[in-house]
Amino acid sequence: MRRLPLSLRLLLRRPRKGPPARYDVRRSLAVPVPAADGSPLLTDHYAPVTDEPCPTVLLRAPYLRSGFPWNYLYGALVAEQGFHVLLQSSRGTGGSAGTFHAWRNEPEDGQAAVAWLREQDWFTGDLYTMGPSYMAYTQMALALDPPPEWRGAIMQVGMADLHRFFWPGGAFALERSSVGGIALFGQAMRTRDYAWAILRMQRHFRRAIGKVPLLDVYPAIFGGRRPAFEEWLAHPEPEFWADGDLMPVADKLAVPVSLCTGWWDLAADQVIEQYTRLRAAGHDPDLLIGPWTHTSALEEGWAEVFGQALRRLRGVAAVDRVRVFVTGVEEWRDLPSWPPAGQQQRWFLGDGTLGPAAGAGSTRFRYDPADPTPAVGGPLQSKTQGRRDNATLEGRPDVLTFTGEPLTSAVEVMGAVRAEFDASTTAASGDLFARLCDVDPAGRSVNVCDGLTRFTEAGRVVVEMGPAGHRFRPGHRIRLQVSGGAHPRFLRNYGTGEPPGPATRMVHTDTTIRHTSSLVLPVV
């Protein structure tokens, strides 16, 4: 094994919020580990410099061996705490042989990695798994047949149901599919070529997504056609994704589990569902929810995220099993479980108002796919992600707002938020995007949580708006923002019902919302 490169050694010497190093670290790069079909999967091994036996931490993904930040955050920082760390590139990525598929090879290749570990003289028989995003998914894949050496899983900002990830609410998740596609498709490239791929996407994305048909214009984003992307786009039906849905695995995942997400993470609802399933099965997971997006959890949230991980790796029990950041008052809260006990509070829509009683009227808005309502704030992967001032967005004629009176006492929302609409649309299908906002006394409207549902028939339309942990302070107002989309987070609805890839025809949609519709808040 060789000494770490100077760049990593300098990073390790920087002042840090986390624990001090326990060991020096060395590493071996591109170690070939057989996949289930015998293909060599390249694996970087980071090891503490010690003769003492040390547990092993396994991370598997397409983009792990691309260098920074993975080599620092998960290679060097974990190894210096006394763990062998393996960063393995999935089949067909990062120099590993074979053909990549977004999910089908991971269960058997994870088992093959554990089989290889058993043959290593430094392996103690104590295995942990760890990592964010796709790395959390490969941990769920390993749980289909949990190896006896598995001692704990640390799943950070992850997902388990790929259909809901790529087609949330029935609309194609264009932005996350494009950004994620760059990560998944670009890992066979050299670091320099991968950097150029990111720059190309940033340069062409906005211009490309404004044109039709999408099948003809999307290659500008990737520098060529990507059959996997076209496959994702062509299959809104859950059946296609059935073997990629690992959510039911949580019911039988008996190893200790730590879960982490952010209020504006890409799939916070899935992380919380994993937690709920584990609890229902009699297990005792711990859950961390911060004021983070998918990426900021590993940036400004790293001290909390890494602290949770080290507690799990060292078998140190948390004082409370749930730790959440309550927005609005900007404070951490420790809880025995999630969500805390409370009651549902229903706010009915009126003529621009929110109130305790249903009305008899209705409100209408027009959505034009040629000028789609833009995505601002929330679980994005662009510069406008997270909490944002919604003033410009709410000034558009295709965005409705329903606002309550100034609060005389605080209202604390802790749990899953939803909107229940009595709605109809004039087109073949319509989208309802609903967002909960906090309006301060100066009139500034900031997003708390949101969601989208596609519908085709008039009647009750439920929009699941995700989880929230937020306190509306006295003098603030509760607002429900409603529109027909959030492009390009969700691919714009063309209004024709045609498959979105080859479609070129667009029609506007007039959507009517009756004042029997309501916002449902879990209040404690």
Question: What are the tens digits of pLDDT across the range 206-221?
Answer: 899 999 999 999 999 9
Per the prediction, the chain carries an average pLDDT of: 95
Query: Taking each helix axis from N to C terminus, what angle separates 191-209 and 174-185, rounded to the nearest 10 degrees?
Result: 160
Q: Is the pLDDT of residue 100 over 60?
A: yes
Q: How many Cβ atoms are within 10 Å of 218's Cβ, its own excluded?
A: 24
What is the token pair recorded at 299? 């940036």
Alpha helix (H) residue ranges in 260-301:
268-280
Q: Which of 5, 39, 44, 15 is nearest to 28 (CA)?
A: 44
What's the token pair of residue 300? 């400004």
Render pLDDT for 458-507 as a digit per residue (tens, 0 to 9).
999 999 999 999 999 999 999 999 999 999 999 999 999 999 999 999 99
**Residue 12: C-alpha distances to residues 75, 130, 132, 183 (Å):** 11, 20, 21, 26
What's the confidence (pLDDT) of residue 17?
A: 76
Pair type for strands 150-156 and 257-264: parallel
Largest CA distance in the chain: 76
Q: Say whether pLDDT at 183 is over 90.
A: no
What is the pLDDT averaged over residues 40-58? 97
Distance CA 312, CA 455 (A): 43
R_g of the chain computed on alpha carbons: 24
Q: Is the pLDDT of residue 54 over 60?
A: yes
- What lies within 8 Å, CB to CB, of 508 at 6+ separation is 366, 367, 368, 369, 370, 427, 495
Residue 457 per-residue DSSP state:
S
Structure tokens at 216: 């003809």
Q: How many CB atoms lie within 10 A of CB 325?
A: 20
Closest CA to 425 of 499, 367, 498, 360: 367
| The token pair that represents 275 in the structure block | 């937690």
In 245-309, where do the E strands start and end?
Answer: 257-264, 286-293
Q: What percent of the chain has pLDDT over 90?
A: 88
**pLDDT (0 to 100) of residue 257:** 97
Q: DSSP letters along 398-424, please?
A: TEEEEEPPPPSS-EEEEEEEEEEEEEE
Among 4-18, 328-342, 392-406, name the one with the lowest average pLDDT. Answer: 4-18
d(CA 524, CA 519): 16
Q: What is the pLDDT of residues 138-170, one digit of tens each?
A: 999 999 999 999 999 999 999 999 999 999 999
Nearest alpha carbon to residue 176 among 381, 413, 327, 410: 381
3-state secondary structure of 338: coil
Please report the pLDDT score of residue 185 as a whole number. 78
Which stretch of 312-326, 405-419, 453-467 has the lowest confidence by average pLDDT?
312-326
- Residue 189 pLDDT more than 80? no
Distance of CA 51 to the CA centre of its chain: 39
Cα separation, 74 vs 56, whole angstroms: 12
In sequence order, the β-bridge partners of residue 344 are 522
For residue 318, the model assigns a pLDDT of: 74
What is the model's pLDDT at position 190? Answer: 54
Residues 6 or more apart whose CB falls under 8 angstroms from that of 83 comprise 48, 54, 55, 56, 57, 128, 313
The band of 191, judged by pLDDT with boundaries at 50, 70 and 90, is low
Q: How confident is the model at residue 192 (pLDDT cuts 50, 70, 90)?
A: low
pLDDT of residue 359: 85
Average pLDDT, integer, range 261-278: 98
In this predicted structure, which of 12-16, 70-74, 234-238, 244-248 has the lowest mean pLDDT? 12-16
Given this model, what pLDDT does residue 202 score?
A: 86
Whether 428 shows a pLDDT value over 90: the answer reads yes
**Comparing 61-70, 264-273, 325-334, which segment has the lowest mean pLDDT?**
61-70
Structure tokens that stand for 157 in this block: 């900002």
pLDDT in tens, 398-412: 999 999 999 999 999
Res 408: pLDDT: 98
Query: Residue 246: is its pLDDT beyond 60?
Result: yes
pTM (2 decimals)? 0.96
- Name the helix (H) or strand (E) containing 25: strand 25-34
Per the structure block, which two tokens stand in for 209? 């997504």
